[in-house]
Structure 1
Amino acid sequence: MADSQTPCLVANGPFSSSQQAIVTKEMGLELNLSLSCIEIPEPTGNESLVKIICTGICRSDICFSIGPEDGYPTHNHIAGHEGIGRVVKSSDSTLVGKLVATRFLASSCGCCTYCLRNLETSCVNQYNIPKHRNGTLQQFMAVPTSYLMELHGLPEIDKDLSKYCAALCSGSAALRAIRNANTSPGDVVVVVGILGGIGHLVGMLAKQVFALKVIGVDLKSKIDVFPAKHTVMACDVLLPAVEDQDPTALVKLQDKIAVSCARLRNDTGTPRAADAVVVTSSRMSGFQRLENFVCDGGSIVCVGVPRESNTLSIPLPSLVERSLRIVGSLMGGRRDALEMIHYIKSGQIDPIITKIELDQVPLYMAKIRDAEIIGKVVVQMPVRG
């Protein structure tokens, strides 16, 4: 390991000493993002400087940009964690010029009881981007080299690297959620919030990789503009969500799910609900009476976490007498992310990507907050530093 006196190596020649970034200058209860000109950080002996090519935006980046969240900076914070870039400066000569990625779970110890149980997100020695380091919504990012995930096998010149950003956190979360649903090929899964950044990947994985039958549920305003080609890839049935606390509308949705399940299974007997439900919604209306969406022995997997009143309520008699499983599912590890990259590269998964420029981030962060976005938003960084 190089020490702080080791000279750094540079790829691609010199570049300007300043860069553009999206900065929250002072944390508050509302988004307060601005395009700013800041200095390019100088990496230390154990760090690398990465020129960001593209970076995804998660709904969690909104949470990281307000509050502040516990342990996050209160001033001059840069969000973003799903970045792909190239190492341009490093004390490790083997990394210079390499394509790398960053994730929220940048590092964990790998040897504690949680890491050994494939639960790295609970590691007490984990490091996170953009909690312990400013994130990827900047053109250049200095980061400990151990935080980087080297990307092998991707084209050296790829005009659509943006689609791979979807694999890093949203994709790994989707993959972990499907595995936590404990399903078998041919089972029926309901995905609530299926048109969102994680939800559409859950649907595509369920249908294209795990051979499940998929019933998608989301806002009617999103369904009305959802491309037909993606509907076929992500789900077999697409139903409008209940957007308030209307019990009559909820019963109607449950009935539609039961009828859809019978059709997808080719059942001729009494209709029964789905084998699992995965909830990626950011609204509490998506978490109502989930026990009625699944059959006995079914799984309820919660991925989304609304910021408003967010207590899940399941009647204990249903939970116990019907042998239901409730699972919280956060995100997968590096292996899951790399597996998702393989699915995308092979064409099994085709993420829905909205590409934006860096100066559009404040606008699109607000759109994500207000549930107006379909699929994944990815920022294309300016070509020049």
Structure 2
Amino acid sequence: MMEELKRREFGRLKILDSIRGIAALVVLYHHIFKLNKEVFQNNLSDTSFVIFDFVSGLNKEAVLLFFIISGFSIGLSTLKRPLNDRKSINGYFYRRFKRILPIYWIAIFLSLLVGIGLNLLYLRDFSFLNLMGNLVFLQTSDSLPESWVIPYGMNGPLWSLSYEMFFYVLFPLVYFINKKFLKKLGLYTKYVALLLVILLGIIINKKVVFIPYFLFLIGFIIWIQGYISSYCFVMMKKKNLFFFLNLLVGLAITIANGKIPSDSIELIGKGMLLNGIFYFTMILTDGLNTQKIQKFIDAIFYKLGEGSYAIYALHYPLLIFFQEKGVSLIYQLLFLPLFIVCCYHLEKHSIRWKMTFLDRNYLKLIQFTAKS
């Protein structure tokens, strides 16, 4: 008789939302600091300014943390509801699209309103082609000269949402291929194969032709590590060596910052480092009585976490508007609590919206598209 697999029973992990809230605050702070850098410099001591500047520089790490938590959360979800039939896969797509699309559409509309208010519709950011590209999640950072599409309406943070949608859409296919064909292969074999595919994509983007999907794969490797962490958490199986090696490689790449001629590899390195830290924090605190610490963190950041997506997607157009209209930093800071509360309620309400037009047979639609 086979030994029954041990599984951890768990409910909603509020700490994940709290981490999202912290990450959203870092991104929000980064953009406030960047747009008002002179004000900070003129009103802070040299030491304080260096500290504020350092925290602002953690912006990319905050976004990567979103990716890790996203992969971890999808892992928890699919371990509860495996993607093993048509109904479960269609339900997965419905929940993911319903989660990301309403706030995303609102962010694009808000960006358009700000563009109208500032008479900026002549810019490429507001073009019809750029809008269409954003609606199908092809946007990449406007710092890349070869980008097909840039974030709509100067709403820079929207770049990461194309990565997020790519994760969501690609994951069921990877899940199916792994379950059907790759189950006998070890974790290291599959992981190294994925890394090689990503490195090939980096080379093609750099030397041959730029294709956004190869760029999105860079985020997928970070996301998938978060997914693996969730498996370790639920099934109570440790992958210490795997994550230790990732942590070491990530640390080496991060220390060599500036010496590696590829921003993509540096991003992967930071993701590996953060995933290692995330995993070992989870392992080291497992079994310890951390409820009081978690309750303290949740008391401050949990509500922020529940509105973190809206905060992330909506803040930048408003900050641009304030900047162009000459609104002083003090008034911007006074506005932020109201903005955060509105984002919390907007995200809570948007999750409850039925949006039945998104509840459809996605597998049949994919098959029809493939035949066409």
Give TM-score scaled by structure 2 length.
0.26
Higher strand share: 1
